[in-house]
Amino acid sequence: MSTAISRTWEHAVVTGGAGFVGSHLCSALLAAGAAVTCVDDFSTGRPENVTPLLERPGFTLVRADVAEGLPVVRPPDLVLHFASPASPADYLRLPLHTMEAGSSGTRNTLRLAREAGARFVLASTSEVYGDPRQHPQEERYWGNVNPVGPRSVYDEAKRFGEALTTAHAEAHGIDTCIVRLFNTYGPRMRGHDGRAVPTFVRQALAGEPLTVTGDGRQTRSLCYVDDTVAGVLAAAAHGMRGPVNIGNPSEITMLDLARLVIELTGSGSGVHYIERPVDDPAVRCPDITLARDKLGWEPRVGAEEGLRRTIAWFRAEAGH
């Protein structure tokens, strides 16, 4: 993966670094010449995501829960806080853990950044917009979130993390940035994590019906992981505070996504409709004007190409 980084980092700490997006960040930073400390409690991250990095010079793996503390010895100049369950299946299974990662975990990573004088980047989410009444969603939109619904443990944890990050920047002068990620997908996703792309790919490769919720007309905007990582690192290097949307503005309905996965896998699977989850957003699409104008960033990998790469990875994994 080619990632342009206009600021040179000596040592980056990536919390949640054994997770899906976090492990790709670790790889990109190492490739750019930075030493990387990956912090993960493996509640949702996978050891195999970072196993190939263990023999790389400059890579350190620390097993720890960020809500309890960060036992990082070497002071970093970049802290990327990506530790949190991120799929509905995970945060509904780990509701309190999710909220602790967004609250105490964010506080602890901010403290590390403050003590080291490091740049701090918070991984927030398009979920802060809830079931949006503005479409597409721009950063100035405050969102439409149910604070006591089943998804609130994740939505409100990220919203609190944003508020905490902003307050620390104001009160302590920490160099912070908030990135709001939209529906990232790609290699290293877990087949049973509950999100649409890995679920559809897993089902199609197994010849099972693809489970589409509701009538399938709800939309998402899928951003391939290489593009997401490039956007995050561009925001880190730029010095902007954000929040800034990092996502692909090309929308697709869940039914069309299921049909595309079936086509690309050559599967004989059909579609099976199931009940739509409570508070499931009807639409989701980022306005990326800010990222384009300030960062010179926009996604480069289209849905068909990104899905082909993802399907190839799942096929390879199944062959192991």
Q: E-assigned strands of the chain?
A: 11-15, 35-40, 59-63, 78-81, 119-125, 175-181, 184-185, 210-213, 219-221, 223-224, 244-246, 251-253, 271-274
Distance CA(271)–CA(286), nearest Å, equals: 27
154 is catalytic: yes
Query: For the chain, what percentages of helix, strand and coil (3-state, to nearest 5) are there?
Result: 40, 20, 40
* Among 91, 154, 185, 224, the one annotated catalytic: 154
Distance CA(24)–CA(230), nearest Å, equals: 10
Query: Which H/E stretch holds residue 92?
Result: helix 88-93
**Would you say 30 and 58 are in contact if contact means Cβ atoms under 8 Å apart?**
yes
**Would you say 83 and 40 are in contact if contact means Cβ atoms under 8 Å apart?**
yes
**Would you say 244 and 121 are in contact if contact means Cβ atoms under 8 Å apart?**
no
CA end-to-end span of the chain, whole Å? 23
Core vs surface per residue 222-253: b (16+ CB within 10 A) or e: bbbbbbbbbbbbbbbbbebebbbbbbbbebbb
The residue behind tokens 């190409």 is 305
CA distances from 224 to 192, 207, 305, 307 (A): 19, 24, 9, 8
CA distances from 297 to 29, 73, 273 (A): 18, 33, 37
What one-character DSSP code corresponds to residue 294?
I
Give the residue numbers annotated as catalytic, written as ranges: 154
